[in-house]
Chain A
Amino acid sequence: MSKLLNSIAGWGVNIAIAMTALRTNLMRSILTTLGVMIGVFAVILAVAVGNGAQVSVTQQIATLGSNMAIVVPQPDSGSGPPRSTDRGRLTERDGRAILRQVSGVSAVAPQIRSSVQLVTPGRSATTQATGATPEYGIVSNVTASEGRFLTDGDVGAAARVVVIGQTVADKLFADANPVGETVRINRVPFKVIGLLESKGSNLGNDNDDQIVVPITTLRQRLQTTAMQGPDDVTLLFVGFEDEDSLFTGQQEIKRMLRDRYRVPKGRISPFTVRTTTEIAETTGQVTQIFQAVLVAIASISLLVGGIGIMNIMLVSVTERTREIGLRMALGAKRSDIRNQFLVEAAVLCVIGGAIGLTLAVLAAAIFQQVADFPAPVGLDTAIMSVAFSAVIGIIFGGYPAIRASRLSPIEALRSE
């Protein structure tokens, strides 16, 4: 027990010696600490941004709606970008067939997507229009926060009505209530019937920068890219009752589409059926790689900081060779000398780490405010980084410290 107390007191002495030495060369200590500080700052921020990206992706997937499959008329290209060649066709009739024949399907939402220009007196905006049916609201969890969403009546009559996202509303109507107002979409006047409930933004992708019009209206009045048939759609959202039916349903839809379009055996199907689960997994992997790359780059700066520590500790040992000799003459063991310099390096690193951590927390908060991007710094990250910087100190301070402890007392004393 008293031995333990003594050893704690011994470390306290070492910390006191280290603080004195560091104060003696204050400017040098600050510059050295700066290296570790920047390193720790970079690593924590990289981890935080990576975590933020993952949170963001999870939210993004959630806004798509759960237990949903997306059918697009192009061949599956794995996790890479979709290929535009070999484009197949997809029709509302296919959607109805899926609803009828595939078990567990709760709703099918056919959609046509098109880029449009909106104009109100004195203002304009460009955004993406989704031509949809009321099922779109059900499947992808979209509702109107003001006014109302599309109805079957709107679709049947190809009514010139539009539900607009918050971002679009801000651009076109500023603070005024847009519901009931008229907006010209590609020069055609539309009546605003509702405001989409805000879904925020993820990864710089604004979910509120869109408008929804009846699929029939879009086809008749706003379509800019020609479709092959009057019934063609850009994509289908297929909602399922639960996760199990989503799993089996995905395969059923694939088979069914091959049959309907008589795709010969061995040919790649011109359709891709992706579930939201798969999308979440793929994007999750991508963000993990993104985070790993960020952290790797940041770690290099921490490594450079560590090398800075080693450099300055070597200088310090050389400068204080005589002091080392004196301490040995006065009874310091090799381990005492080694610990003295180890503690000095660790103190430099821990101070740098603590400041770096503080700055990173501040930067993450500012980033969150300015860029509207979550960058959470967890307690685990904080503890890990400070511990990590102490380890850096011990690793990079270790060699100079051991070198100091191996000096011969008499040669150290003789040095000038």
Chain B
Amino acid sequence: MTAPLLETHDLVKDYVIGGEVLHAVNGVSLTIKRGEFVAIMGASGSGKSTFMNMIGCLDVPTSGTLLLDGIDTKTLDSDALAEIRNRKIGFVFQQFNLLARTSALDNVAVPLIYAGLGYTERRERAQAKLEAMGLGNRLQNTPAKLSGGQQQRVAIARALVTDPLMLLADEPTGALDTQTSLDIMGIFQKLNDEGITLIVVTHEPDIAEYAERRIIFRDGRVIEDAAVKSRRRAVAG
């Protein structure tokens, strides 16, 4: 039996603001298995983004335990955390976060630079991921010459290029119109069907219904954690 992909025990993150301690995440224990499609919901300030940042190894917990692929992240230094972000996690952001004036191909290849791959292999892999996203004819376009949906698909290709264990998407549809949002969720469902674990942070209940499990945060705690009853499908198969 392999370890769960993600396991947290009494995870806490405190911020000190103006001399007062704010418990952004206040004792969260949960487990996410491989292959799950999880939506994390909550109002702003509920702690969902802070939780997301911690499981993405971008932020370190104040206390508690975070096991990622069986590894206790407390034991890792900043270089090891960087390596985990590079190899095991793919990030998708609300604002896409593509490098301006840089081609789609080069944007997707960035994580492979830090994985230590050579030029040719970087380009081949990046091109394959872009083609899988239906952007085979947009390789040399800079973000300014791509629509919002195309930019987000470039970002997804970038998140997938190191073949990570899980995709963390923080409000991935927040900057997109309804139809494009549905397209992106369709891509996520397809990826999930292919076996990748997906964790999507959103405040839109519709979007959460594309996931199979919904976790709701309030005041730094999990107040609901249940399977999505009437799950939506964006694309067939």
Contact = CB atoms under 8 A, between A and B. Distances in A.
Interface of A: 6, 9-10, 13, 20, 24, 322-323, 326-336, 408-410, 413
A384 to B, nearest CB: 33
A333 B83 CA distance: 8
A24 B118 CA distance: 25
A408 B15 CA distance: 14
Contacts of A336: 82, 114
Nearest to B164: A331
A328 B99 contact: no
A92 B111 CA distance: 91
Contacts of B230: none
Contacts of B83: 331, 333
Given A6-B116, A410-B53, A331 B111 contact: yes
Given A328-B82, A410-B58, A13 B113 contact: yes
Contacts of B79: 333-335
Contacts of A330: 85-86, 91, 110-111, 114, 158
A6 B122 CA distance: 13
Nearest to B83: A331
A334 B118 contact: no
A410 B110 CA distance: 18
Contacts of B119: 9
Contacts of A13: 113
B188 to A, nearest CB: 19
B97 interface: yes
A413 B116 contact: no
Q: Which of A10, A328, A331 has the most CB of B within 10 A?
A: A331
Interface in B96-150: 97, 99, 101-102, 110-111, 113-116, 118-119
A334 B56 CA distance: 17
Nearest to A331: B86
Contacts of B2: none
Contact of B85 (A24, A331, A408): A331
B87 A331 contact: yes
Interface of B: 53, 56, 58-59, 78-79, 82-83, 85-87, 91, 93, 97, 99, 101-102, 110-111, 113-116, 118-119, 158, 162
Nearest to A406: B78
Nearest to A5: B118
A331 B59 contact: no
A333 B82 contact: yes
Contact of B59 (A10, A322, A410): A410
B87 to A, nearest CB: 7
B56 A329 contact: yes
Contacts of B93: 413
Contacts of B58: 328-329, 409-410, 413
Contacts of B78: 333-334
Contacts of B113: 10, 13
Contacts of B118: 6, 9
Contact of A331 (B53, B97, B162): B162
A142 B116 CA distance: 73
Contacts of B114: 327, 330-333, 336
Contacts of A331: 82-83, 85-87, 111, 114-115, 162
25 contacts: A6-B116, A9-B119, A24-B101, A327-B110, A328-B58, A328-B85, A330-B85, A330-B91, A330-B111, A330-B158, A331-B85, A331-B87, A331-B111, A331-B114, A331-B115, A331-B162, A333-B78, A333-B79, A333-B83, A336-B82, A336-B114, A409-B59, A410-B53, A410-B59, A413-B58
A20 B82 contact: no
B91 A329 contact: yes
Nearest to B56: A329
Nearest to A13: B113
A413 B53 CA distance: 11
The 5 A-B pairs with the shortest beta carbon distances in the complex, nearest first, are A331-B86, A331-B114, A410-B58, A330-B111, A333-B82
Contacts of B116: 6, 10
Nearest to B114: A331
A328 B113 CA distance: 12
A322 B100 CA distance: 12
Given A13-B113, A409-B58, A332 B102 contact: no
B82 A334 contact: yes
Contacts of A334: 78-79, 82
Nearest to A413: B58
Nearest to B52: A410
Given A333-B78, A333-B114, A334-B79, 6 more contacts: A9-B118, A10-B113, A328-B58, A330-B86, A331-B162, A336-B114
B202 to A, nearest CB: 18
B78 to A, nearest CB: 6
A10 B117 CA distance: 9
A364 to B, nearest CB: 40
Contacts of A24: 101
B97 to A, nearest CB: 5
A323 B113 CA distance: 15
Contacts of A335: 79
Contacts of B85: 328-331, 409
B121 to A, nearest CB: 11
Nearest to B81: A409
A326 B83 CA distance: 14
Nearest to A408: B59
A336 to B, nearest CB: 6
A13 B106 CA distance: 11
Nearest to A327: B110
A328 B116 CA distance: 14
Nearest to A17: B113
B237 to A, nearest CB: 31
Nearest to B116: A6
Contacts of B97: 322, 326, 413
A10 B119 CA distance: 10
